[in-house]
Chain A
Amino acid sequence: MREISSDIITQTIAQMCIDANHHLTPDMEKALINAGESEISPLGKQVLSQLRENLKIADEDMIPICQDTGMAVVFVEMGQEVHITGTSLYDAINEGVRKGYTEGFLRKSVVGDPLERVNTGDNTPAVIHTEIVPGETFRLTVAPKGFGSENMSRIFMLKPAEGIEGVKAAVLTAVNDAGPNACPPMVVGVGIGGTFEKAAIMAKKALLRPAGEHSDIPYVEELEKELLEKINRSGIGPGGLGGRMTALAVNVLTYPTHIAGLPVAVNICCHVNRHSVREL
């Protein structure tokens, strides 16, 4: 049995919230640079160059990349041999979010009740997804999610007969409807299969995969490439102002599903596809 103190989890989460909001992962930076080279629209090129400059300023001057520093989505991969000492795991994570967002000058964007809408003042609670795995691993991922793109995400409960063409149409519908609202160039996370909620969580998780990497399943890899090409023919372009670079990546995850169903979730992320990963 391995023991991990809740204090360490809190400190780590706080730092991860700050890191994720100021520095993109190298794969995302590279994807933006590549997009700048491939874009043919002059205005699109200008937007992409502004975004690259924005990343530089965010990094050097410690100004959040985007003012929407997101709702903190936290994935925990926890070995079944791990025991948390101190407070509960969820309290430790929320305390870390509170600390990170307060001390790190991050925006507090969470309301305590979806209809009464009073800001909680410290960006808690986080949305926490836990996964129990064998062994003593303890892996945290913090993925602050902005809502410009979250609002444009969709779930489709397709009929099995609609097949792969139905899946493609669903993804393209979501992306076209999102258009300029989702701050393109986007990253598109897709979850196919499972149940209603499983598809949505897969779509969110798919956003964590490094841009440029593909699924291990050959037909899924083909699907990702085809969808990316089709999305980039839409004309939406950087900032939605026209061009070829509408998406930087399409990442698909799949899971077994029911004989009667074909759930497809499309979680759209803007170009500020943030995440910080740490293993304790």
Chain B
Amino acid sequence: MDKKITMPLSKEDALSLKCGDYVYLTGVIYTARDAAHKRMYDALRKDEALPLDIKGQTIYYMGPSPAREGRPIGSAGPTTASRMDKYAPELLDLGLIGMIGKGKRTQAVKDAIVRNGAVYFAAVGGAGAILSKCITSSEVIAYDDLGTEAIRRLEVKDFPVIVVIDHEGRDLYEESQKQYRID
């Protein structure tokens, strides 16, 4: 089912989303990938504040290519989410409500999604050019020295994603592969 949703995602919206929904996101999301997650993880170990209040926010696992002049961002598709699995449950427990990436998640992440009423979306991997057209602004808000891996605040408009893991823990990858597999 196609849906349009305004970001940041409300608790109610997160709970209304079902595995397999095709969703267009409009509003603010944040980027973070491997190196930024490691820094946030290290900050939490030292009882330091995170560079953004992640409560109710959505993180897009993405490191863009540089923007050409006059454009907000370069190519901007999702990276593999499983590399963030080590860090995601803790962030979800701190209030992170949405993640956008691609690829499978561990059971620990699924459990944290269910426990917190969160959601994992997939964007289409390798479609960075078309996805960049749905990003209207991009601003580095932390860890500038990490280059492409810095944390960015993005404004997106009708950014297309698919609900892969919903708050009930259903997993579209598993369900759809079963549906189309020929034994």
Interface residues of A (CB under 8 A from B): 40-41, 43, 46-47, 50-51, 53-55, 57-58, 61-69, 105-109, 117, 119, 121, 146, 148, 151, 179-181, 183, 233-237, 239-244, 270-272
B124 CB contact (under 8 Å) in A40, A151, A179, A239 = A239
CB contacts (< 8 Å) of B126 on chain A: these are 51, 54, 65-66, 146, 183, 270-272
Inter-subunit contact A239/B75 (CB<8 Å): no
A107 CB contact (under 8 Å) in B68, B74, B103, B160 = B74
Inter-subunit contact B130/A53 (CB<8 Å): yes
Inter-subunit contact B103/A235 (CB<8 Å): no
CB contacts (< 8 Å) of B20 on chain A: these are 43
- Docked CA distance A148–B82 (Å): 10
- A151 with B125, Cβ < 8 A, contacts A67-B74, A121-B147, A244-B180 known: no
Interface residues of B (CB under 8 A from A): 20, 22, 35, 62-68, 74-77, 79-80, 82, 102-104, 122, 124-133, 146-149, 160, 162, 172-173, 175-183
CB contacts (< 8 Å) of A179 on chain B: these are 103-104, 173, 177
- Docked CA distance A234–B177 (Å): 7
CB contacts (< 8 Å) of B133 on chain A: these are 57
B155 to A: closest C-beta gap in Å: 18
Inter-subunit contact A54/B130 (CB<8 Å): yes
B82 to A, closest residue via Cβ: A181
What number of residue pairs across chains A and B have CB atoms under 8 A from each other? 163
Inter-subunit contact B74/A241 (CB<8 Å): no
Inter-subunit contact A65/B75 (CB<8 Å): yes
CB contacts (< 8 Å) of B181 on chain A: these are 233-235
CB contacts (< 8 Å) of A271 on chain B: these are 126
A63 to B, closest residue via Cβ: B129
Inter-subunit contact A180/B130 (CB<8 Å): no
A149 to B: closest C-beta gap in Å: 9
Inter-subunit contact B177/A105 (CB<8 Å): no
CB contacts (< 8 Å) of A47 on chain B: these are 124
- A235 with B74, Cβ < 8 A, contacts A57-B130, A66-B126, A270-B125 known: no
CB contacts (< 8 Å) of A105 on chain B: these are 65-68, 74
CB contacts (< 8 Å) of B183 on chain A: these are 233
Inter-subunit contact B102/A69 (CB<8 Å): no
Inter-subunit contact B148/A109 (CB<8 Å): yes
- Docked CA distance A101–B66 (Å): 10
Inter-subunit contact B75/A66 (CB<8 Å): yes
Inter-subunit contact B122/A63 (CB<8 Å): no
- A107 with B125, Cβ < 8 A, contacts A63-B74, A65-B75, A148-B79 known: no
A-B contact pairs, 5 of them (CB 8 A): A50-B127, A50-B130, A66-B77, A105-B67, A107-B148
Most B C-beta atoms less than 10 A away, residue of A41, A53, A68, A105? A68
A87 to B: closest C-beta gap in Å: 27
CB contacts (< 8 Å) of A243 on chain B: these are 176, 180
B122 CB contact (under 8 Å) in A151, A180, A237 = A180
A29 to B: closest C-beta gap in Å: 13
CB contacts (< 8 Å) of B62 on chain A: these are 67
CB contacts (< 8 Å) of B65 on chain A: these are 63-64, 67, 69, 105-107
